[in-house]
Amino acid sequence: MGSIRHLVLAKFKDEAAVEELLQGLQKLVSEIDVVKSFEWGEDVLKDERLGQGFTHAFLLTFGSAEDLATYIKHPSHVAFGKAFRAAIDKILAIDFPVVTNKISA
Amino acid sequence: MGSIRHLVLAKFKDEAAVEELLQGLQKLVSEIDVVKSFEWGEDVLKDERLGQGFTHAFLLTFGSAEDLATYIKHPSHVAFGKAFRAAIDKILAIDFPVVTNKISA
């Protein structure tokens, strides 16, 4: 069945408490059942042109568009979103139904 | 062990042969062994501000930074990259070692 991914790229402000925000995000996704999986990472390519300054990627997976909508409007997400947005210089988000063309063990 | 993700966002030109490029990409990743997994999707959020016009996400997974480097410099990838870049309005790419905080079945 079609999973949908919620992809967020962020560039944090210099003074942002990134560690705290990451912990908040981990707590958030652990508490909201519709989040099927959560992974994130810090850019290592560091190509200013290609990466446009984004330093972090966050990838959340949901079982359906409805589940994603449930997450987006969840009061805990709304509250976290406020703190998150206050800490970032810029953000990019897209949602996409996953088409998988290759999986190796 | 630490997988690394190669994330590419693209906005294709209006006249681009997107279907053909997607097939070319599927062929490419199927032929290059170091690509552990490949998935992609088309943005459904369609939020001009949040998505900055990017319409497609491509997510490739590698077992190590060395494998990713092998892919990047593979002659088939270099050749495909030329066709790909000619077909896009803009591109964004970042690479990140995956930190997984939640996985559900």
* A36 in B contact zone (CB under 8 Å): yes
Which residue of chain A comes nearest to B65, CA vs CA? Answer: A44
Cβ–Cβ < 8 Å for B3, A40: no
How far is B84 from B25, CA to CA, in rounded Å?
A: 9
Tens of pLDDT, residues A37-92? 999 999 999 999 999 999 999 999 999 999 999 999 999 999 999 999 999 999 99
Residues B36-90 pLDDT 10s: 999 999 999 999 999 999 999 999 999 999 999 999 999 999 999 999 999 999 9
For residues A84 and B102, the model is more confident at: A84
The amino acid that residue B18 corresponds to is: V
The alpha-carbon gap from A69 to the nearest alpha carbon of chain B, in Å, equals 11
Q: What is the spatial distance between Cα B70 and Cα A105, in angstroms, rounded to a whole number?
A: 19
